[in-house]
């Protein structure tokens, strides 16, 4: 459990850090960034996956309906990768951030409803604080964007489907990226490299870092999703928007007063989840 929590925290920190690259890679458009991101991720995940590919294709032969599941996963992956890059440059960063705050709540609900995962008393309290903070933030917000719901429901359903059909491997993600490659090539074809380099002299350096951060984040997240109950994985997802919040401070944005309660509740939820993990490891402790 401890290893899974550590990997999940690191992956979410890297995901949050990757949000800043949408600014560093300007003047690329969101679709051009999407094309590059798909190519980079595919190149990273393609190596050393032969055994997992063989297992995946064997599962598909036994269960042909998995083709439809993988197509659905591919659609979700494409939309989520694009939304992450599109939001900061289209005045939707706050709405998508709210979606990322909803994401762990949806994951927790799926873990309890679909996989019947055990909830200790501290986990219930952590979920309660998270609900209080996120619910208050939604009530106080001026509007709820479609982007909020796409970000909040996409990945939890994605992970739940992968686990339910026993295809939660990097090989599955490689197949998703492979199906997205034609779209990526089309977007990359639109890039005018001379103009990009003229306006951004460090573009290639940022691009390499962008690929490394995204690749490591996805690898660690998928590994941790196989080590943790989905409710714990979901609550740990709050690390990502917290990192995004710190990045917002670093670039000069100010936290609105109405978000103070949200931030406090998320910190309390993460602390409670951490305490619950340590308590579970004590051999003489009576479980709730």
Confidence of residue 176 (pLDDT cuts 50, 70, 90): very high
Does the pLDDT value for residue 131 go beyond 50? yes
Any domain includes 284: no
Task: Please give the tally of structural domains in the chain.
Answer: 1
Q: Which is more confident, 97 or 165?
A: 165
Any domain includes 288: no
Any domain includes 287: no
Q: Directed axis angle between helix 203-225 and helix 146-164, to 10°?
A: 50
Any domain includes 89: yes
Any domain includes 205: yes
Mean pLDDT (whole number) for 136-147 = 72
**Please, what is the average pLDDT of the chain?**
79
| Each residue's pLDDT tens digit, 249-283 | 776 666 677 777 877 887 787 788 768 766 765 55
Q: What is the DSSP letter of 118?
A: -
| Each residue's pLDDT tens digit, 228-255 | 876 677 667 777 777 877 776 776 666 6
The domain containing residue 245 runs over which residues?
A: 1-279
The pLDDT assigned to 254 comes to: 63
Token digits for 168?
């939660």
Any domain includes 285: no
Any domain includes 163: yes
């Amino acid at each position: 459990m401890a290893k899974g929590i550590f990997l999940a925290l690191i992956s979410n920190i890297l995901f949050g850090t990757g949000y800043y690259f949408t600014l560093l890679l300007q003047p690329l458009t969101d679709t051009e960034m999407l094309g590059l991101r798909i190519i980079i991720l595919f190149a990273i995940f393609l190596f050393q996956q032969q055994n997992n590919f063989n297992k995946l294709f064997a599962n598909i032969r036994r269960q042909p309906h998995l083709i439809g599941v993988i197509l659905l996963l591919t659609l979700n992956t494409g939309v989520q990768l694009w939304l992450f890059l599109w939001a900061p440059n289209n005045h939707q960063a706050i709405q998508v951030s709210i979606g990322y705050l909803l994401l762990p709540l949806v994951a927790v609900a799926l873990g309890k409803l679909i996989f019947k995962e055990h909830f200790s008393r501290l986990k219930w309290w952590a979920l309660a604080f998270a609900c209080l903070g996120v619910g208050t933030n939604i009530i106080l917000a001026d509007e709820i964007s479609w982007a909020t719901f796409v970000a909040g429901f996409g990945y939890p359903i994605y992970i739940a489907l992968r686990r339910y059909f026993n295809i939660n491997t990097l090989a599955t993600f490689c197949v998703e990226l492979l199906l997205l490659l034609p779209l990526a090539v089309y977007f990359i074809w639109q890039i005018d490299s001379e103009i990009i380099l003229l306006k951004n002299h460090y573009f290639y350096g940022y691009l390499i870092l962008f690929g490394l951060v995204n690749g490591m984040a996805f690898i660690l997240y998928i590994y941790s999703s196989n080590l943790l109950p989905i409710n714990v994985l979901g609550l740990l997802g709050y690390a990502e928007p917290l990192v995004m919040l710190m990045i917002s401070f670093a670039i000069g944005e100010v936290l609105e007063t109405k978000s103070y309660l949200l931030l406090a509740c998320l910190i309390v939820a993460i602390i409670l989840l951490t305490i619950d993990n340590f308590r579970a490891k004590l051999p003489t402790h009576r479980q709730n």
